[in-house]
């Protein structure tokens, strides 16, 4: 059974991450132990090999190290010398498309918890994130410092060649990784001892994360170019931030409307009066009309959450609840009994 990860997944050496993922899903579905109870054809071992291959090739840093070790082992093998071509013949096999020696960095996913107030006002915060970063020993080149680095003479620095492939319509040229430089486009006499020639190491970078006012719980904010560093000085990946908004005790959000629960005293509910409300943006004064019932909603237009895209504000609703006093003096209890009788309450039904 082959131990080559690319052959196990049945993909080319320059397969994209989507192609790696698609091949893994297809094989994992057919080889999964739950689908092969008897294991008469050794599917359990095949499934383990497929899983191991995917874990390596789906991780850009692990994949690059694997490719380097694979290239080194190939160089150590004996066999017939490679064919030689004249300069004119060799040029016919050169790949003239965009360089593939560099690779885009990995996308980084991150969850960040913010307060209810921060979701209303927006926030900017520096966050330490673990990600592949350029090797500080070699500057990301992969070569040991002060050692020669030259362009690959086989692929002329593109990292690829065109190989003839037979199809029903005849032979066509297909792009393949240059085996001389393993798709890097350069040749190094000595690999960097810190990153083993990859050019990347696992590190931590402080990234400034900005969230707009009105950002919602569960929103995914994409920060372009803030993800993992690319191989061979390739472009950085993106940072995908999932927002988790903490709950506030007496506040809740419904769409872009803000609801605040407030308690008022029994006398204020009966006689009316002014009531001060602490909102996110400051204090507001409500006028409570006489005989206000519990769960009455008071509308303040345009003071709800801002829309994170348009900036337009929703409305603020203050919901009042009548809060009975926690302690009553004997005199107060006597007065309440008299009030209960006056308004027609049956004292025997009140438990007094």
Cβ contact 185:214 at 8 Å:
no
124: Cα within 13 Å, side-chain hemisphere: 1
Beta-carbon contacts of residue 229 (< 8 Å; ≥ 6 apart): 105, 131, 132, 133, 134, 140, 200, 236
pLDDT at 206: 92
Domain 251-350 classification at class level:
mainly beta
Q: Would you say domain 5-58 falls under CATH 1.10.287.110?
A: yes
- The rounded distance, in Å, linking the Cα atoms of 76 and 64 is 19
**188: β partners:** 149
- The rounded distance, in Å, linking the Cα atoms of 53 and 59 is 10
pLDDT at 191: 87
Q: Is 134 helix (H, G, I), strand (E, B) or coil?
A: strand
Output helix, strand, coil percentages for the chain, rounded to the nearest 5.
25, 30, 45
Q: 339, 343, 323: which is closest to 269 by C-alpha?
A: 323
* Regions in the chain scoring below 70 on pLDDT: 1-2, 33-42, 71-102, 348-349, 351-352
Cβ contact 304:315 at 8 Å:
yes
pTM of the entire predicted model: 0.61
Q: In which element (H, E) is residue 52 found?
A: helix 43-57
Q: 242, 229, 198: which is closest to 72 by C-alpha?
A: 198
Domain boundaries, the chain: 5-58, 108-245, 251-350
Task: Supply the CATH classification number for the domain 108-245.
Answer: 2.10.230.10
Question: What Rg value do the Cα atoms of the chain yield, rounded?
Answer: 34
């Amino acid at each position: 059974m082959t131990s080559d990860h690319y052959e196990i997944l049945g993909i080319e050496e320059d397969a994209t991450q989507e192609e790696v993922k698609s091949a893994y899903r297809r094989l994992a579905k057919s080889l999964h132990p739950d689908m092969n109870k008897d294991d008469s054809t050794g599917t359990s071992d095949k499934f383990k090999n497929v899983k191991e291959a995917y874990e390596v090739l789906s991780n850009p840093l692990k994949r690059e190290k694997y490719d380097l070790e694979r290239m080194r082992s190939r160089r150590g093998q004996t066999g017939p010398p490679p064919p030689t071509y004249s300069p004119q013949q060799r040029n016919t096999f050169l790949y003239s498309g965009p360089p593939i020696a560099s690779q885009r960095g990995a996308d980084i996913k991150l969850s960040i918890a913010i307060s209810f107030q921060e979701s209303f006002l927006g926030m900017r915060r520096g966050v330490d994130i673990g990600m592949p970063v350029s090797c500080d020993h070699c500057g990301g080149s992969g070569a040991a410092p002060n050692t020669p680095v030259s362009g690959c003479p086989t692929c002329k620095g593109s990292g690829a060649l065109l190989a003839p492939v037979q199809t029903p319509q005849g032979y066509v040229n297909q792009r393949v990784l240059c085996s001389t430089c393993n798709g890097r486009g350069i040749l190094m006499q000595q690999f960097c001892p810190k990153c083993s020639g990859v050019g990347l190491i696992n590190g931590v970078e402080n990234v400034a994360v900005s969230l707009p006012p009105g950002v919602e719980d569960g929103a995914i904010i994409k920060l372009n170019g803030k993800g993992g560093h690319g191989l061979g000085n390739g472009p950085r990946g993106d940072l995908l931030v999932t927002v988790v908004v903490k709950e506030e005790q007496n506040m809740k959000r419904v769409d872009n409307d803000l609801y605040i629960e407030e308690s008022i005293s029994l006398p204020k509910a009966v006689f009316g009066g002014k009531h001060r409300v602490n909102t996110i943006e400051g204090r507001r004064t409500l006028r409570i009309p006489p005989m206000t019932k519990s769960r009455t909603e008071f509308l303040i237009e345009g003071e709800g959450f801002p829309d994170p895209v348009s900036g337009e504000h929703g409305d603020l609703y203050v919901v009042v609840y009548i809060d009975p006093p926690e302690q009553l003096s004997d005199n107060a209890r006597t007065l309440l009994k008299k009030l209960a009788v006056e308004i027609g309450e049956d004292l025997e039904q009140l438990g007094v």
